[in-house]
Amino acid sequence: CGVFGVNGVVDAANFVALGLHALQHRGQEAGGIVSHHPEFGFNSARRMGYVRDNFTSQDVMDTLPGALSIGHVRYSTTGSKGNTAIRDVQPFFGEFAMGGAAIAHNGNITNADALRRELIERGSIFQSSSDSECIIHLMARSLQKGIPERMEDALRRVEGAFSVVAMTRTKLIGVRDPLGVRPLVLGRIGDGWALSSETCALDIIGAEFVREIEPGEMVVITEDGKIESRRPFRQATSRFCIFEHVYFSRPDSILGGRSVYETREAIGRELAKESPVDADLVCPVPDSGTPAAIGFSLESGIPYAMGIIRNQYMGRTFIEPTEHIRNMGVRLKLNVNRALIRDKRVILVDDSVVRGTTSRKIKEMILDAGAKEVHFRIASPPTAWPCFYGVDTPQREKLLAATMSEEEMRQHLSVDSLKFISLDGLYRAVGEAKGRDAGCPQYCDACFSGEYPVEPADMIAQGFQL
């Protein structure tokens, strides 16, 4: 998911709409905006679908007045999926002591089932099936006086990954979990402030990037622009999601002082060093494989070519009416550039292999177009474990790498070769020169290593085995 908030600007909701539009890659299912105006109070609009289709009309934006606003773009990892999910669209808003608050959450709460049961037993009335709603109920029940203090109280009970942007009637608040699994950055716009999942959304509103919110940090920003930094949690070693570098973040964002694009190019270079192959062309699987393919080409000297073209107008919310059309899935989105591919030995670079269904179809398309050989190079290690911290991976059994060795996967995809970057190579590419095991890992890499930095309590209760 993506979160964004701004204060101290006229018609703040318009800035939030732009910010969310720049964060659309983090969640295409739905979006929502809450604003506050001293006269009109809290207002909210939550809609299924893209930001550009919902938050550009004057009719909708006129209902969101005020100089303080937050928003969220949703990608479902918990709660309901599909088009009946409007009740799970954030921000969540609740009125309780001290005037209430709205929150937008990116991440995944790993003890949400247990918290929800406890809260319902004590009388909380849940409106959604989302894990994030627990935070509002915990805040409402807290005995602390101020809302930021209630939020500290609430978040100390919550386990897992959370980057939260929240607002009261007057304050804008940003918090990252103690491990800082998901990103959150601070920007300056005029006399106001902005909080965003990624820096690319600061760029779109002309805000200046100030710094990242630190793991375990809470910032409370007042109406008159004062900013206060707090440390509500026990100190921990940070474990940022390494997959943000590989896939999730936008290539024009800056993470940990590094351009995501440059990191991805470095991943491609590492791949070329680790797993070279003689071939005629390096082709990305668009768009997620593109920077790594460029890096692979630069390092190997094998020409880069756009052998697969993506239809820019194909969104994830495209209506897929029948099973037959659903099976055509990738063909609706990707097509082979036949003239380039015929009689060539092709290296395909993609960011990850999850179920392997996309990879298989792409390989068939490339062979149909007359390629002589197909070599897959993957910009992440084999995804053998599900993510419980806010990226929607399928159950372990559905992950190709959970049940197959690299050679078995190669046979399953029936390609001439298949190589993944090593975990050490990935660490080198993100700037850890000594690789992963030189010190304690400085990233979360659980989906590759199975080493979960936060115990996934709810999943273990459901029978998941580490």
Is 59 marked as binding a ligand?
Answer: no
User: Is residue 353 within the footprint of ligand 5GP (CB under 6 A)?
Assistant: yes
C-alpha 356/C-alpha 107 separation (Å) is 25
List the catalytic residue out of 1, 134, 200, 283.
1
Is 62 marked as binding a ligand?
Answer: no
C-alpha 223/C-alpha 452 separation (Å) is 39
Instruction: State the nearest-atom distance from the C-beta of 447 to ligand SF4, in Å.
Output: 3
- Binding mask 381-400 toward ligand SF4 (x if CB under 6 A, else -) reads ------x-x-x---------
Q: Which of 267, 446, 454, 457 binds ligand SF4 (CB under 6 A)?
A: 446
User: Is residue 243 within the footprint of ligand SF4 (CB under 6 A)?
Assistant: yes
Is 275 marked as binding a ligand?
Answer: no
Number of residues counted as binding ligand SF4 (CB under 6 A) = 11
Is 444 marked as binding a ligand?
Answer: yes
User: Is residue 356 within the footprint of ligand 5GP (CB under 6 A)?
Assistant: yes
**Residue 412, both tokens:** 């399953």
Bridge partner residues of 6 (DSSP): 69, 194
Number of other residues whose CB lies within 10 A of the CB of residue 12: 29
Contacts with ligand 5GP in 236-255 (CB under 6 A)?
247
Helical H segments across 1-111, by residue range: 12-22, 51-54, 58-61
In order, the DSSP letters of 274-291 are HS----SEEEE-TTTTHH
Instruction: Classify residue 265 as exposed, middle or buried by CB count within 10 Å of its CB (0-12, 13-18, 19+).
Output: buried
**Residue 153, both tokens:** 């109280």
Q: Which segment (103-111, 176-184, 353-361, 448-456) binds ligand 5GP by CB under 6 A? A: 353-361
User: Is residue 391 within the footprint of ligand 5GP (CB under 6 A)?
Assistant: yes
C-alpha 60/C-alpha 45 separation (Å) is 8
Q: Which segment (121-129, 143-151, 411-419, 439-447) binds ligand SF4 by CB under 6 A? A: 439-447
On whether the CB atoms of residues 199 and 19 are closer than 8 A, the answer is no
Q: Which is nearer to Mg ion, 165 or 246 (CB)?
A: 246
CA–CA distance from 136 to each of 16, 87, 113, 164 (Å)?
Answer: 21, 15, 15, 12
Q: Which residues bind Mg ion (CB under 5 A)?
A: 288
Q: Which does 220 bind (CB under 5 to 8 A by kind): Mg ion, ligand 5GP, ligand SF4, none?
A: none
Catalytic status, residue 134: no
User: Is residue 13 within the footprint of ligand SF4 (CB under 6 A)?
Assistant: no
**How many C-alpha atoms does 130 have within 13 Å on its Cβ side?**
27
- Residue numbers at the binding site for ligand 5GP (CB under 6 A): 247, 285, 288, 350-359, 391-392
* Catalytic residue annotation: 1
Q: Detail the residues annotated as belonging to a binding site for [4Fe-4S] cluster.
A: 241, 387, 444, 447
Which residues are part of a known binding site for Mg(2+)? Answer: 288, 350-351
